[in-house]
Structure 1
Amino acid sequence: MVNLKTFFVCLHLLVLIQWVKAIENGTQSKGFLKQLDSSTWIFGNDIWNLTQGRQYATKLWYKEKDLVGKAVGHYVSYNGAQSDLNWTSAAIVDSGSDFVNIRFTAKEGDFHWVIYDGLAGAYQYFVNHALPTLGEFRTLWRLDNETFPNGRTSVRDGQLPPLSSYVASTKVQDETWETANGTFLTKYDWSNFVRDTDFYGVYGDEVGSWYIPGGKDYYNGNHLKQELMIHRESQTGDAVQLNMIHGTHYQASSSDTFGANKTWGPWLWYLNNGSKADAALRVQQEVRAWPYSWFKDASYQSRGSVRGRLVLSDGRPAAGATVFLGDNHPNTTALDQGRGYYYTTYADEIGAFRIDDVRTGSYGLQAWSNGGSIADVSTSLLRNDVVVSRSAVTNLQTLRWNVTSEDNTIFRVGAFDRKTTGFALSGPTPFEHGRIAKCPANLTFVVGRSETGHWCFGQEALGTWTIIFSTNSSSTSTSASASTSTSPSTSNFTTTRAAKLLISLAGFASGSSADILLNSHKIGNITSGSALLPSSQDTYRGATRAGEWHLLEFGVEGDLLRGGGEENRLDFRVTKSTLWRGWLWDAVKLEWV
């Protein structure tokens, strides 16, 4: 009796022989789809072909080799691995002289493979019909671990840890292992900022599999959206190439409901001989071609542009400002937006910006500081009802951005840019498990003497970080309460002016808490479980540059500050600590009100 595996191999070869004959006879294009039974299809072109089952696509033949091997293959799923899509039918829904568009249908929606003659790979996109409210939605490859020993993102390139390394190590948390020499293996080291991505994938000496997003408007989130890109599957050793088209890995939440026909993509899945230089050249080609003229979807092709100029209320141009075009009248943060389409850019040196190829519709435009000459700006700008029309430029003219006067600043540590820029240990790479534990438990920063790099990027250990400063205020008075203060430096002078403490956190992972004390008087806290601080699992997953941004404000009564040039002390005293869980610093600012 012929076993089932042998039967399907023979059937596969028969289909391919018939397809080759059809091409030779000029009766069929090089792209093809053949159905073997009610739940098995073969498709591809003259360079590669793939066997698709009800759930997984396996047997990826390229350069006379199966690139999947014993791995899982290709699939589409939402909310992690809980819900893999099951394909009920497949059909060629469009074709031309040099391409076929193959649609696989599931109850949740349609996944398309657009296959051109001579292309090693395919353009892919998904059209929603009935996806539930979700956080994670992804497509991915799980490929042969020997064929693909290496991985590459825009910030990391090298060998993926072999499966044997995990076996010899101790698991310490979610997908994280400690090796015998005290270093860590974690899949989260292979994350990246989504909108900074050029191309990413897995590769070896003979073959590479890459994802190339020509455009990025279908991704959720803003400039600081980070996602896991690739990793070694710790249970099987599969080389994993993720395509998180709606992700939540470094966010507090991003749960969205999508309208009918909401489309993700197209992006290019690209095969080559493992050359990163070739993939980089292909990126240039895809970026020039986006939005793709071949994608015959009316809403996709209906696009316009937005331009304007940002000027601060104190007269300065908002040079280098971050500009985000997202949900109109938003009820979530820019990072957490995900039901629509999103566009990002930065203003130039005079505050001018332009965003081209925006899908028509109504948007909310936001802007905030990206450091530089406007590093002191803690406020942000929101302009709703930005209407983008087909083939038109929406000119917003000059947008006035209200800011507080720099004259009111008592001190500032760090630049307002929603990142840990300039702080110790924030680089060189933006991901490393456990790096936050290298920051000191106790730290003293003296305003006017200490450099920005003296402040560490994150805090989680039991101890106290202190900022020493003076107000140099002329508004002082004798105060009995000040003379009895328990602060190490006492004075008979306190200010009569109220102030405001701004704490900008670039990220927060619950598990550690701190009291905030001014001259030994508690004025606030950074607390797990606070409604203002939902956990975003950023420090927990090795983020060192950014996570979910939070701006906290605390009022300071005038009699708490010492004037007359006397020393003041601001303490961040950690009262509860959980290893690798804490907060990322963006900036600390004290200002008069």
Structure 2
Amino acid sequence: MLGLWLSSCITCGKKLSLISKPDMGMLLHAQDDYIVIDNGVIQITLTNPGGNLTRIQYSGIDNVLETHNKELNGGFWDLNWSEAGSRKNRGKFDTITGTSFKIIVENEKQMELSFTRPWDPSDQGEHAPLYIDKRFVILRGVSGFYSYAIYKHLKDMPAFNLNTSRIAFMLSKDKFHYMAVADNRQRYMPLPDDRLPGRGEELAYPEAVRLVDPVEPEFIGEVDDKYQYSIENKDNRVHGWICFDPPVGFWQITPSNEFRNGGPLKQDLSSHVNPTTLAIFLTSHYAGEDLLVKLGAGEEWTKVLGPVFIYLNSVPSAANALSLWEDAKEQMIKETNCWPYNFLASDDFPCSDYRGTLRGRLLVYDRYIAEFDAPAALAFVGLAAPGDAGSWQRESKGYQFWTKANECGEFTIGNVRAGSYNLFAWVPGFIGDYQCDIEICITPGCDIDMGDFVYEPPRDGPTMWEIGIPDRSAAEFYIPDPNPKYINKLYVNHPDRFRQYGLWERYAELYPDEDLVYTVGVSDYTKDWFFAQVNRKIGDRTYKTSTWQIKFEVLNIERSKNYKLRLALASAHHSDLQVRINDPEGDNPLFSTGEIGDDNAIARHGIHGLYWLFTVDIPGDQLVEGEINTIYLTQSKNSSPFQGIMYDYIRLEAPSPENTKAASY
């Protein structure tokens, strides 16, 4: 075993120094209650056998981690779980502390450490019934470290729900004040103390706080809410913090989304005030109960979460500190190009030689747009566990592999784990989900060319009118300016203006007496269609349902046939959308979704949650020719300000012309 000579004891809180030189290679020192590893660039300390990080030394900073927080300190894996049958998205918080420690790899170039926690039936109710193996990998001379975990549910384990799993880092609040989650989403952040009672005023939910007496006056009146910094999985590759004295960056890099749940559009938290940086692997955020990992008694299940790369960088001068973000992005690209890593020492993580490739071309055929199959340009194409069309967005147990087709609809999905999958896709500009009904078997080393696939999106007749853009988002609709009392300065004149707090309250201000009325051919959905159909607040605690109207004319009505109303929803939260035609007071709606949705995207500034698509038959004999017809859309649930609908796209189709095989409209 390689030795490490220490000049002071880590447990006394003094700086740890090395007698040996970095060129001696990887250095490890283990005591009964802590473990220290130094790779010549970075030095990390973990509890033994718990495997929680208590110290990260780098570039003149004795410890980049926070150690004085009353609740959460350092870096740690945790999960949230609940008993089988529970429908709650939150359950018991479980910081994963190992009960045994083992060195898996130890040489001059690499260390891999394992901290395991088996499940003990006597702990039932205290810990989630999982066998957990947390791993940390450090490579010589690399400015950071890797972490991943292997979760196993075995035959002798009881049923339970896994709600959330993540790795969290609490950074030094005295050092890290500047946060970056995207090129256009970075700023100096408030201090954690600014959120405390007296300095901060809690708003509609605990995560949102209005800063009334912050330490730094520049933040007075701003709203801080961690959900304002959520990111879609497809974009959630690098985020973190910058310290200016000394100029050091701390970044969480995720080179692959294969282990995350819910697919590429799934949203989740990133970095936020405290300062906190998260790598979230499994969660029900922006989805609800559908994304809980529900494991039955004795159900065998294994999933590797990660690895993610924790990257630290520095520059000589504070004047160039913001360049650390650009360097972190470059490192993210390098890590992505190295995926899957070939240096991990777990048989549960297959390297590239044990993975396969699928390629093909996706076409789209809509006879009312073009006579022939057209390339599905820029379509999202992915492999996920077999299921119905669109099932991928509610899937958590397996792995998913997604790519984006080129302008010609051609795609290649590489580095796919061996297993059985369905091919799924959706195409911007078209409604619905594609699913190939052939179960695809990926084997180690395979390279499968499936040729052409053709997606025929839902369509019965020519378009009479449409509202919005079929892109699974409500971003194209009218998003109001926030109440000046609830501003996050980052999102003023920002493309993501929907991330401002309290926009749901603006609906009642803009429509104080009557609900929204949209007239086809006159109204402009970018100005006249509010981004979310929400309840109107009446008094302090009462909410009134809303009924929106779409007015339109119909000529040459075919009374014996049905017209098709397509309702594509970008989000729903405990809502019941009812449709009536020309009779707003009718007891029985023409259509009702029933109560749907639990994504809470309205409160969490998400602009979309889970995607829903409904088709409503409108009998021709219920329409009026030559006069104004009205579709009434009622969201009938009103116990909360956050119950509501976000629309993606609405279309009314005329009946299909007789004997029409192909036509252009």
TM-score range, shorter chain: 0.7 to 0.9
Aligned residues: 547
Alignment of structure 1 residues 511-590 onto 2, 5 Å: 515-520=578-583, 522=586, 523-524=589-590, 530-531=594-595, 533-544=596-607, 546-563=608-625, 565-577=626-638, 578-590=640-652
Aligned to 1:73: 74
Name the SS for the 2:613 alignment partner: strand
Q: Tell me how far apart the structure 2 counterparts of residues 411 and 278 of structure 1 sit (CA, whole Å).
A: 48
**Contact 2:478–2:531 under 8 Å retained in 1:** yes
Aligned to 1:325: 383
Q: Tell me how far apart the structure 2 counterparts of residues 119 and 445 of structure 1 sit (CA, whole Å).
A: 58
Aligned to 1:471: 554
Indicate yes or no: 2:518 matched with 1:434: no
Question: Structure 1 residue 226: deviation in Å?
Answer: 0.4
Aligned to 1:311: 363
Question: Structure 1 residue 576: deviation in Å?
Answer: 4.7
Indicate yes or no: 2:207 matched with 1:171: no
Instruction: Give deviations 1:23-78, integer Å, cap 9, x for gaps.
Output: 77x5xx3242x2221x4322332333233223642132223322224240011111
**Contact 2:361–2:411 under 8 Å retained in 1:** yes
Q: What residue identity is the alignment partner of 1:553? A: T
Aligned to 1:192: 231
**Contact 1:468–1:569 under 8 Å retained in 2:** yes
Change in Cα spacing, 1:447 to 1:458, as seen in structure 2 (3 Å) is: same
Change in Cα spacing, 1:105 to 1:284, as seen in structure 2 (3 Å) is: same
Aligned to 1:240: 276
Q: Residue 31 of structure 2: which of 16, 36, 46 is its match?
A: 36
Change in Cα spacing, 1:525 to 1:329, as seen in structure 2 (3 Å) is: closer
Q: Tell me how far apart the structure 2 counterparts of residues 320 and 276 of structure 1 sit (CA, whole Å).
A: 28
Q: Residue 45 of structure 1: which of 39, 42, 54 is its match?
A: 39
Q: Residue 125 of structure 1: which of 148, 156, 174 is its match?
A: 148
Indicate yes or no: 2:535 matched with 1:461: yes
Q: Tell me how far apart the structure 1 counterparts of residues 222 and 633 of structure 2 sit (CA, whole Å).
A: 29
Aligned to 1:140: 168
Name the SS for the 1:456 alignment partner: coil
**Contact 1:309–1:353 under 8 Å retained in 2:** yes
Aligned to 2:338: 289
Name the SS for the 2:363 alignment partner: strand
Alignment of structure 1 residues 326-345 onto 2, 5 Å: 326-329=384-387, 333-345=391-403
Name the SS for the 1:149 alignment partner: strand
Q: What residue identity is the alignment partner of 1:453? A: T
Alignment of structure 1 residues 126-525 onto 2, 5 Å: 126-130=149-153, 133-154=161-182, 156-167=185-196, 168-172=199-203, 173-180=205-212, 183-205=222-244, 206-232=247-273, 238-253=274-289, 254-256=291-293, 257=295, 259=300, 261-273=302-314, 275-297=324-346, 300-301=350-351, 302-313=354-365, 314=367, 315-317=372-374, 318-329=376-387, 333-371=391-429, 375=430, 377-378=431-432, 380-405=434-459, 407-425=461-479, 428-429=495-496, 431-439=499-507, 440-441=510-511, 442-454=515-527, 455-462=529-536, 463-475=546-558, 495-510=559-574, 515-520=578-583, 522=586, 523-524=589-590
Q: Tell me how far apart the structure 1 counterparts of residues 341 and 385 of structure 2 sit (CA, whole Å).
A: 24
Q: Tell me how far apart the structure 2 counterparts of residues 139 and 259 of structure 1 sit (CA, whole Å).
A: 24
What is the aligned-residue RMSD (CA, Å)? 2.9
Identity of aligned pairs, percent? 23
**Contact 1:538–1:548 under 8 Å retained in 2:** no
Q: Tell me how far apart the structure 1 counterparts of residues 278 and 99 of structure 2 sit (CA, whole Å).
A: 24
Name the SS for the 1:390 alignment partner: coil
Question: Structure 1 residue 10: deviation in Å?
Answer: 6.7
Q: Which runs of 5+ in 1 are unaligned?
A: 1-5, 233-237, 476-494
**Contact 2:467–2:649 under 8 Å retained in 1:** yes
Aligned to 2:491: none
Q: Tell me how far apart the structure 2 counterparts of residues 331 and 402 of structure 1 sit (CA, whole Å).
A: 13
Q: Tell me how far apart the structure 1 counterparts of residues 434 and 525 of structure 2 sit (CA, whole Å).
A: 23
Question: Structure 1 residue 587: deviation in Å?
Answer: 1.0
Q: Tell me how far apart the structure 2 counterparts of residues 101 and 163 of structure 1 sit (CA, whole Å).
A: 34
Instruction: Give deviations 1:196-240, integer Å, cap 9, x for gaps.
Output: 1231112221222111112221111112110001122xxxxx311
Q: Tell me how far apart the structure 2 counterparts of residues 588 and 287 of structure 1 sit (CA, whole Å).
A: 38
Q: Tell me how far apart the structure 2 counterparts of residues 179 and 420 of structure 1 sit (CA, whole Å).
A: 29
Name the SS for the 1:355 alignment partner: strand
Change in Cα spacing, 1:62 to 1:183, as seen in structure 2 (3 Å) is: closer
Report the TM-score, using the length of structure 2 for normalisation.
Answer: 0.76
**Contact 1:414–1:421 under 8 Å retained in 2:** no
Instruction: Give deviations 1:110-151, integer Å, cap 9, x for gaps.
Output: 111111111221011111234964121111101111211122
**Contact 1:363–1:386 under 8 Å retained in 2:** yes
Question: Structure 1 residue 182: deviation in Å?
Answer: 6.5
Instruction: Give deviations 1:459-513, integer Å, cap 9, x for gaps.
Output: 10334422111222353xxxxxxxxxxxxxxxxxxx3321232221111123x65
Aligned to 2:85: none
Change in Cα spacing, 1:10 to 1:571, as seen in structure 2 (3 Å) is: closer
Report the TM-score, using the length of structure 1 for normalisation.
Answer: 0.84
Q: What residue identity is the alignment partner of 1:304? A: G
Q: Tell me how far apart the structure 2 counterparts of residues 540 and 525 of structure 1 sit (CA, whole Å).
A: 27
Question: Structure 1 residue 90: deviation in Å?
Answer: 2.1
Q: Tell me how far apart the structure 1 counterparts of residues 265 and 648 of structure 2 sit (CA, whole Å).
A: 13
Aligned to 2:659: none
Q: Tell me how far apart the structure 2 counterparts of residues 304 and 517 of structure 1 sit (CA, whole Å).
A: 50
Change in Cα spacing, 1:582 to 1:145, as seen in structure 2 (3 Å) is: same
Moved over 6 A (4+): 10-15
Name the SS for the 1:70 alignment partner: coil
Question: Structure 1 residue 445: deviation in Å?
Answer: 2.0
Alignment of structure 1 residues 48-63 onto 2, 5 Å: 48-53=42-47, 54=50, 56-63=52-59
Change in Cα spacing, 1:239 to 1:12, as seen in structure 2 (3 Å) is: closer
Change in Cα spacing, 1:84 to 1:585, as seen in structure 2 (3 Å) is: same
**Contact 1:92–1:102 under 8 Å retained in 2:** yes
**Contact 1:31–1:117 under 8 Å retained in 2:** no
Q: Tell me how far apart the structure 1 counterparts of residues 591 and 532 of structure 2 sit (CA, whole Å).
A: 16
Question: Structure 1 residue 456: deviation in Å?
Answer: 2.2
Question: Structure 1 residue 408: deviation in Å?
Answer: 3.0
Q: Tell me how far apart the structure 1 counterparts of residues 26 and 423 of structure 2 sit (CA, whole Å).
A: 45
Aligned to 1:487: none
Instruction: Give deviations 1:142-177, integer Å, cap 9, x for gaps.
Output: 111121112211252112222343232321213112
Q: Which runs of 5+ in 2 are unaligned?
A: 1-6, 81-89, 119-130, 155-159, 213-219, 315-320, 481-493, 537-545, 656-665
Q: Tell me how far apart the structure 2 counterparts of residues 410 and 10 of structure 1 sit (CA, whole Å).
A: 73
Name the SS for the 1:290 alignment partner: coil
